[in-house]
Amino acid sequence: MSRNAVRFLRNGVVTELSEVGANETLLDYLRLRERACGTKEGCGEGDCGACTVAIGSIKNGRLVYESINSCIQLLGQIDGKDVITVDDLGDREALHPVQRAMVDEHASQCGFCTPGIVISLFVLYHSGESADRENVNNWLSGNLCRCTGYRPIVDAAASAIDGKANDALSGRLAETQKILGEMQDEEDLFVGSEDRFFAAPASIENMLELSARHPDAVILSGATDVGLWITKQLRDLPKIVHTGRVKGFSDIVDSVDKVRINAGATYEDAHSVLYSIDPDLGEVVRRIGSKPVRNSGTVGGNIANGSPIGDMPPALIVLGAKLELRHDKSTREIALEDFFVAYGKQDRAPGELVTAVTIPRLGSSQHFRAFKISKRFDQDISSVLAAFCFTLDGDVITTARIAYGGMAATPKRAVTAEQALAGVTLGDEAAIKLAVTALTKDFTPMTDMRASAEYRQKVAGNLLRKALHEIRVGDTKTTRLLAHREASL
Ligand SMILES: Cc1cc2nc3c(=O)[nH]c(=O)nc-3n(C[C@H](O)[C@H](O)[C@H](O)COP(=O)(O)OP(=O)(O)OC[C@H]3O[C@@H](n4cnc5c(N)ncnc54)[C@H](O)[C@@H]3O)c2cc1C
Ligand code: FES
Ligand code: FES
């Protein structure tokens, strides 16, 4: 049995749509069909936040609201969820507390970014978190304001948000959760025809069967890559198989010696467990895109996409992560590094699914470091992502695992540098110099708009030195301006 209509909640009303374009975005639906034009379109690629909307869903038995970029979210992805746009918050007579504060603090000029900013702050308002400057900056990481400047916007957040929500939504949370609960069903969603469809199976078995039957279909998780194929490359993707409704597909199993992250877990879902493996791993995740990108983008999608500048793969490779893949009735597990074959080519057959990544926890003699280098702190792709895992016997390196993103056509280990460091004492400057030189044998990086080849090579060596220095001295006071490890360990 399958359901042939997308079903979601907005303003307390359940909408059922049987006419849903396979590539139709949520933003287009809101603006063109609902005429809910408060939500704006700026970049159309998840960068500016003008299109931010709030999505409510039940996670671990609790109703949770998250901000997402509606420009790159497909309409079918909101099946079973509550959608809140800026048009739903308040009106001229009764502004929402966040809107009121934006007015009072003069936090808007041209106003183009304002609907997105209001929604990001509205979701923060309902999160129970504090509105200290650092946290507000994090929540606004996906909202670009070109004219007002962020000081009055952050002031508005501080004046409206005190961790206790008391607005119209607060009064209908229980009812909303009940309706969303009733909307969850075990049926597969299939809208369209065999030649052109948006499908979202409810079980892994049905997902595998459908993707094996349609190996030409695009597998869709958070759409933070695929959405741009539609909006920027103007590609027509006739068949979409979405992982978002598969039961258990975003589960995370945390055990003593390893963590299993199922492929559909978003960055935000996985952040705390990755942080618990090492604070640097948590910080890499916190620096991926923006809050809305992290609310949609998945760890599995980041790996499956196979980008040479994806942030997760180098960090997970040095930790010795294993990738689980399933195709029709067969399951296999490979070392994550073996998944990346060449630029744009991964070890994945058409119709095969990435289903989980398993990451060993660090042993007491293992030391991990990871650094993201990009031109901006938030919302920027890495020029270089460096990750290191050293096993020590006293102060002697017995094993070195080093991997970089942005240095080659795939995320790649620095095997020559690793060999140069085996058996070396942490403070052995001559040996470290040889290892840094060995990086030039491991990589021939390219020059592009993010960084020159020379810069990449230089920074890769410097980050290796920095990691070794930090591990030797045991603190990051002299090596970091932000995110000192000592504060979080
Ligand atoms: C504004 C913006 C900023 C970004 N910043 C960063 C950044 O800082 N660092 C970074 O690393 N990335 C960044 N990205 C890229 C993106 O967020 C990641 O690559 C993301 O993890 C992809 O996951 P997704 O769930 O959205 O994948 P999707 O877009 O749904 O899919 C991506 C690819 O993986 C395939 N796929 C997805 N799930 C599966 C599966 N389970 N099995 C098999 N194939 C699958 C799809 O078919 C597609 O080829 C950014 C993107 C945007 C839009
Ligand atoms: S329009 Fe810019 S993020 Fe969506
Ligand atoms: S008020 Fe103009 S872009 Fe923010």
Span 366-488 CATH architecture: 2-Layer Sandwich (3.30)
Which one, of 260, 246, 232, lies nearest residue 200 by Cα?
246
Q: Which residues make beta-bridge pairs with 413?
A: 403
Regarding the beta carbon of 41 and ligand 2, being less than 6 Å apart is answered yes
Which among 43, 52, 109 is the best mutation to test ligand 3's pocket, defined by most ligand atoms within 8 Å of the CB? 109
Which one, of 293, 289, 291, 200, lies nearest residue 240 by Cα?
200
Residue 13 half-sphere exposure toward CB, CA atoms < 13 A: 5
Give the separation between CA 445 and CA 457, rounded to whole angstroms.
7
Q: Look up the pTM and report it.
A: 0.97
Atom of ligand 3 nearest to the CA of 146: 3
Atom of ligand 1 nearest to the CA of 288: 8
For residue 147, give the ligand nearest its CA.
Answer: 3
The owner of tokens 């119209």 is 168
pLDDT tens column, 305-316: 999 999 999 999
Angle in degrees, 0-180, between the axes of helices 114-125 and 97-104, rounded to the nearest 10: 130
CATH fold of 97-166 reads: DNA polymerase; domain 1 (1.10.150)
Q: Which helix (H) or strand (E) holds 103?
A: helix 97-104
Atom of ligand 3 nearest to the CA of 111: 1
Regarding the beta carbon of 268 and ligand 2, being less than 6 Å apart is answered no
Give the Å distance between the CA of 441 and the centre of ligand 1. 30
Q: What angle do CA 422, 343, 226 make, to 5 degrees?
A: 120
CATH node for 2-87+173-242: 3.10.20.30
Q: Which residues make beta-bridge pairs with 433?
A: none
Residue 446 near residue 453 (C-beta atoms within 8 A):
yes
Interior/surface letters 191-211, b for 16+ CB within 10 angstroms, e for the rest: bbeeeebbbbbbebebbbbbb
Give the Å distance between the CA of 78 and the centre of ligand 3. 28
Angle in degrees, 0-180, between the axes of helices 114-125 and 150-160, rounded to the nearest 10: 30
Atom of ligand 2 nearest to the CA of 142: 3
Task: Sketch the domain layout of the chain as residue ranges.
Answer: 2-87+173-242, 97-166, 258-360, 366-488
Q: What percent of the chain has pLDDT over 90?
A: 94
The predicted structure's pLDDT at residue 286: 95
Interior/surface letters 80-98, b for 16+ CB within 10 angstroms, e for the rest: bbbbbbbbbbbeeeebbbb
pLDDT tens column, 239-295: 999 999 999 999 999 999 999 999 999 999 999 999 999 999 999 999 999 999 999
Atom of ligand 3 nearest to the CA of 147: 2
Give the Å distance between the CA of 280 and the centre of ligand 1. 21
For residue 284, give the ligand nearest its CA.
Answer: 1
Give the Å distance between the CA of 12 and the centre of ligand 2. 26
Of all protein residues, whose CA lies closest to atom 4 belonging to ligand 3?
Answer: 145
Give the Å distance between the CA of 150 and the centre of ligand 3. 10
Q: Which helix (H) or strand (E) holds 454?
A: helix 453-473
Which among 47, 141, 145, 296 is the best mutation to test ligand 2's pocket, defined by most ligand atoms within 8 Å of the CB? 47
Segments in the chain below pLDDT 50? none
Q: Ligand 3: residues whose CB is within 6 Å?
A: 108-114, 145-148
Give the Å distance between the CA of 226 and the centre of ligand 2. 14
**Cα torsion for 344, 345, 350, 351, to the nearest 10°?**
-70
Identity (one letter) of the amino acid at 352? E
Q: What angle do CA 230, 82, 251 make, to 5 degrees?
A: 75
**DSSP string of 205-245, one letter each residue:** HHHHHHHHH-TTSEEESS-TTHHHHHHTS-----EEEE-TT
For residue 293, give the ligand nearest its CA.
Answer: 1
Regarding the beta carbon of 71 and ligand 2, being less than 6 Å apart is answered yes
Regarding the beta carbon of 53 and ligand 2, being less than 6 Å apart is answered no
Write the Ramachandran bin of 61: left for phi over 0, alpha for psi from -120 to 50, otherwise beta.
Answer: left
Identity (one letter) of the amino acid at 98? V
For residue 304, give the ligand nearest its CA.
Answer: 1
Select from 1.20.950.20, 3.30.465.10, 3.30.70.1450, 1.20.120.430 the CATH code of 258-360.
3.30.465.10
The predicted structure's pLDDT at residue 365: 97
Atom of ligand 1 nearest to the CA of 267: 21
